[in-house]
């Protein structure tokens, strides 16, 4: 039970018919046996520690953010301001963290890769966690649905969209390049990107990284097609699109070398 929000951590057991708090009370006292049969040990302790009224009054809704327990426009405005302030502080902390890391090898390696600026830009947005996935849009502009439009099975954060959505997983399985780091660091894009950059010193390592970014770009494009146009491309064409852009980039680079 979260003391600030009055919630319990215990999942509701199957066939549980409990609806109201008074069902857990018997003769003015907590029905300990019933509580233990439904809630976890930690939740039981917290529930039983709550003092019961000796007046035997009915349950009623109260507003915990004022001394009178009555909701008012003034207290509602104060709570909204507090939530907004905490949100802005969190965003500023994240931005500050990114700024402090801008001089690291991560940024230098990104800008030094021989690939199109649009590809660098999408990685840059992901590292700053500002690419407009549904979770970001909901937190910033109040977009109602933060679900992934490709699989409808999870919230669309950056890592879900690129690595763990069923749509993305199938693309990676079809792609000609594999990264074990997806499962090891896939829950944090920054760590994942930092880990695959270590491949740049291997033979053809930079080429593998650039191909990987092309796959990320194609996943983002296919996501947008599904999201805005409700159109799904076959997985083979998505991977082929990444391969084609990669080959074109390679050809351009070889041409520049030949000219020199």
- Say what the pLDDT of residue 187 is: 74
Instruction: Please indicate, yes or no, whether the overall pTM of this predicted structure exceeds 0.75.
Output: no
Instruction: For residues 225 and 135, give the distance between their C-alpha atoms in angstroms, rounded to a whole number.
Output: 18
**SS3 assignment, position 214:** helix
120 shares its domain with 220: yes
86 shares its domain with 41: no
What's the total number of domains in the chain?
3
74, 100, 126: which is the final residue of a domain? 100
Task: Give yes or no for residue 66 having a pLDDT over 90.
Answer: no
126 shares its domain with 71: no
Residue 4: band (very low, low, confident or very high) from pLDDT cuts 50, 70, 90: very low
45 shares its domain with 138: no
72 shares its domain with 173: no
Task: Give yes or no for residue 20 having a pLDDT over 50.
Answer: yes
Q: What is the mean pLDDT of residues 20-34?
A: 87
Instruction: For residues 208 and 158, give the distance between their C-alpha atoms in angstroms, rounded to a whole number.
Output: 21
Which of 154, 4, 146 shows the shortest CA–CA distance to 83?
4
232 shares its domain with 252: yes
Average pLDDT of every residue of the chain: 83
177 shares its domain with 53: no
149 shares its domain with 95: no
77 shares its domain with 170: no
- Say what the pLDDT of residue 5 is: 56
Residue 186: band (very low, low, confident or very high) from pLDDT cuts 50, 70, 90: low
Domain range spanning residue 27? 1-60
Instruction: For residues 22 and 24, give the distance between their C-alpha atoms in angstroms, rounded to a whole number.
Output: 5
11 shares its domain with 35: yes
100, 118, 149: which is the final residue of a domain? 100
Give tens-digit pLDDT for 189-236. 988 888 888 888 888 889 999 999 999 999 999 999 999 999 998 988
- 25-34: long-range pairs with CB below 8 Å, 24+: 25/52, 28/52, 28/54, 28/56
């Amino acid at each position: 039970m979260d003391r600030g929000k009055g919630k319990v951590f215990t999942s509701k057991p199957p066939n549980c018919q409990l609806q109201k708090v008074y069902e857990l009370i018997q003769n003015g006292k907590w029905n300990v046996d019933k509580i233990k049969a439904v809630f976890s040990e930690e939740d039981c302790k917290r529930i039983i520690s709550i003092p019961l009224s000796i007046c035997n009054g009915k349950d009623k809704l109260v507003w915990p953010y004022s001394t009178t327990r009555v909701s008012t426009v003034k207290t509602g405005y104060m709570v909204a301001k507090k939530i907004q302030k905490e949100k802005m502080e969190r965003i500023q902390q994240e931005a500050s963290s990114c700024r402090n890391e801008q001089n690291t090898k991560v940024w230098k390696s990104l800008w030094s890769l021989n690939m199109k600026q649009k590809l660098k830009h999408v990685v840059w947005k992901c590292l700053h966690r500002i690419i407009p996935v549904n979770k970001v849009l909901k937190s910033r502009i109040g977009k109602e649905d933060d679900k992934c439009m490709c699989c409808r099975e999870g919230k669309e954060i950056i890592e879900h969209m690129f690595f763990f959505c069923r749509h993305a997983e199938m693309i990676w399985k079809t792609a000609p390049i594999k990264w074990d780091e997806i499962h090891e660091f896939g829950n944090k894009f920054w760590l994942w990107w930092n880990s695959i950059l270590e491949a740049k010193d291997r033979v053809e390592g930079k080429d593998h990284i650039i191909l990987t970014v092309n796959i990320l770009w194609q996943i983002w494009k296919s996501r947008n097609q599904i999201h805005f146009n409700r159109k799904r491309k076959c997985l083979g064409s998505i991977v082929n699109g990444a391969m084609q852009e990669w080959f074109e980039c390679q050809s351009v680079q070889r041409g520049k070398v030949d000219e020199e």
